[in-house]
């Protein structure tokens, strides 16, 4: 008899999984980066990003996090990268990076000082000037990729959801 049968509750998964998402916002040849004020990323410029909420799709989370951190509204264009990290605790963290188009006026940019202390658009040369203590290589690598004119971006093909038994594209994603 399983633990769920005895207690009526499910046991914690053996391999906990967390999901995060970030937006690679490109505007006039520059990429939006934010500098975090908490945790392991404190003091580092990274993509506007965060954890995906229960019931939320990663692309929706990336747009939400961008707005929460920078006051900028974006449209997700497609998936540009994925990072998978097996943490020391055994947790698997999946982080989806989405290419995004700026919808808000540039003048709406305002750092949410409850989470970050700076938000701005960086050119390739400005990113080159950041030290290893000011950012992470993965964030800069995907930012560089987004600046390439022929960068591969996988768009969401929501029209395929009707063939999968899912009744609404708001609950389903496939990037290809």
Q: What angle do CA 85, 90, 95 make, to 5 degrees?
A: 25
Please tell me the predicted confidence (pLDDT) of residue 8: 63
Q: What angle do CA 172, 174, 176 make, to 5 degrees?
A: 165
Q: pLDDT tens, 120-174?
A: 999 999 999 999 999 999 999 999 999 999 999 999 887 776 666 666 777 888 8
The answer to whether 18 and 28 are in contact (CB under 8 A) is no
In the beta sheet, which residues pair with residue 46? 34
Please tell me the predicted confidence (pLDDT) of residue 162: 67
How many angstroms separate the CA atoms of 38 and 163, rounded?
Answer: 43
How many angstroms separate the CA atoms of 59 and 169, rounded?
Answer: 12
- SS3 for 27? strand
Q: pLDDT tens, 18-70?
A: 999 999 999 999 999 999 999 989 999 999 999 999 999 999 999 999 999 99
Say whether domain 14-171 belongs to CATH 3.30.565.10. no
Per the structure block, which two tokens stand in for 14? Answer: 């053996």
pTM: predicted TM-score of the whole model, two decimal places: 0.87
Please tell me the predicted confidence (pLDDT) of residue 176: 87
Residue 15: pLDDT above 50?
A: yes
Distance between start and end Cα atoms, the chain:
42
User: Domain segments of the chain: what residues?
Assistant: 14-171
Please tell me the predicted confidence (pLDDT) of residue 43: 97
Nearest to 20, CA basis, from 4, 40, 5: 40
């Amino acid at each position: 008899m399983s633990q769920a049968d005895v207690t009526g509750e499910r046991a914690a998964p053996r391999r906990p999984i967390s999901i995060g998402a970030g937006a690679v916002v490109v505007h006039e040849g520059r990429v939006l980066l934010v500098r975090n004020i908490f945790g392991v990323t404190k003091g580092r410029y990274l993509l506007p990003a965060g954890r995906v909420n229960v019931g939320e799709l990663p692309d929706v989370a990336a747009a939400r996090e961008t707005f929460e951190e920078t006051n900028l509204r974006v449209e997700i264009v497609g998936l540009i990268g994925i990072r998978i990290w097996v943490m020391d605790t055994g947790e698997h963290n999946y982080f989806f990076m989405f290419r995004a188009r700026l919808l808000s006026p540039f003048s709406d940019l305002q750092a949410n000082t409850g989470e970050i202390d700076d938000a701005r658009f960086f050119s390739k040369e400005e990113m080159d000037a950041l030290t290893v203590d000011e950012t992470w290589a993965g964030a800069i690598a995907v930012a560089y990729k987004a600046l390439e004119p022929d960068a591969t971006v996988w768009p969401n093909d929501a029209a395929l959801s009707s063939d999968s038994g899912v009744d609404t594209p708001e609950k389903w994603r496939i990037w290809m």
